[in-house]
Homo-oligomer: A and B are copies of this chain.
């Protein structure tokens, strides 16, 4: 028992459950229109939510006003009313009124709506962190409430140390998988496709993947039928303009015709 238990990861309590919430097309109600609300609004717009801000117009800060005037968020020009919750899938409260906040929190809990009351940890189903974004790559730093400023510093440190075009590596691998499915579409070939994609992942260091170009990906695919994967050096030698510095990265467009 003691022997076998050593194989399994030890539990490290005291953390949060770090998750990537899906709110595309869902309704997020933001109560308040100040600086904190503006930050929350950006987070949820980046996740493609439909956002409604409830706040008297006089309380909107310039950033929130800007988003209202651009039609990026819907604005309800008054204080919160309980019926605002009728269509809400998530509620974010950022007002300087603890009593009003608590009332909204309780209503949300009655209706089982996930909610975050800014600066009131016991009235939060979830906390926010500091987020680095690079295309499909998102990295959240959380200090579990112990140092929000530090979270931002650590996030900037990570952003600085990540290779350039880290997002490109993810786009490239996703694109490679799509192109592979086009040239080898048979469902019964799925295990081979998966095994080969794993081989691709194991062949390149992930920061090498940041350098893969559109041309490279088509060259890699020519090795699939032999169940081989070329090295980065082999790929570089295959580039039509090899010998010259290559700067054009895969541009993320999906219109390339494979097998043409």
Residue ranges of A at the interface with B (Cβ–Cβ < 8 Å): 1, 4-5, 7-9, 11-23, 42-49, 62-63, 66-67, 69-70, 72, 111-114, 124-129, 131, 133, 136-144, 146-147, 149-150, 153-154, 157-158, 161-162, 166, 169-171, 173-174, 198, 201, 206-207, 209
CA gap between A4 and B66 in the complex, in Å: 8
Tell me if B125 and A21 are in contact (CB < 8 A). Answer: yes
Given the interface contacts A4-B62, A127-B20, A158-B139, does A209 sit within 8 Å of B150 by beta carbon?
A: yes
Which residues of chain B have C-beta atoms less than 8 A from A143's C-beta?
136-138, 170
With a cutoff of 8 Å between Cβ atoms, the chain B residues found around residue A111 in the complex are 112
Cα distance A169–B8 in the bound complex, in angstroms: 28
- How many angstroms between the C-alpha atoms of A198 and B148 in the bound complex? 11
Complex partner residue of A20 from B1, B66, B129, B209, CB under 8 angstroms: B129
Among B17, B42, B66, B157, which residue has its beta carbon within 8 angstroms of that of A43?
Answer: B17
In the complex, the answer to whether B63 meets A8 with C-beta atoms within 8 Å is yes
Among A48, A144, A162, residue most surrounded by chain B Cβ atoms (within 10 Å): A144
CB distance from A209 to the nearest CB of B (A): 7
Interface of A is mostly: mixed
Complex-state Cα separation, A69 to B125, whole angstroms: 30
Complex formed: what's the CA distance from A46 to B144 in Å?
Answer: 12
A137 touches B154 (CB 8 A): yes
Asked if A66 and B8 sit within 8 Å, CB to CB, the answer is yes
What residues of chain B lie closer than 8 Å to A70, measured between beta carbons? Answer: 5
15 contacts between A and B (CB under 8 A): A1-B69, A5-B70, A15-B46, A15-B138, A17-B20, A18-B20, A19-B126, A19-B140, A140-B140, A146-B171, A146-B173, A147-B169, A154-B166, A154-B206, A161-B161
Is the Cβ of A129 less than 8 Å from the Cβ of B17?
A: no
A162 CA to B153 CA, complexed, in Å:
12
Whole-angstrom distance between the Cβ of A232 and the nearest chain B Cβ: 15
A234 vs B143: C-alpha distance in the bound complex, in angstroms?
Answer: 27
Q: Taking the nearest CB of chain B, how far is it from the CB of A76, in angstroms?
A: 20
Complex CA gap A206/B207 in Å reads 25
Chain B residues with CB under 8 Å of A141's CB are 137-139
Are A157 and B125 closer than 8 Å at their CB atoms? no
Q: How far is the CB of A51 from chain B (nearest CB, A)?
A: 10
Per the bound structure, the CA–CA distance linking A198 and B153 in Å amounts to 13
The complex places the Cα of A166 from the Cα of B142 at a distance, in Å, of: 12
CB-CB under 8 A for A22 and B125, given A11-B42, A170-B147: yes
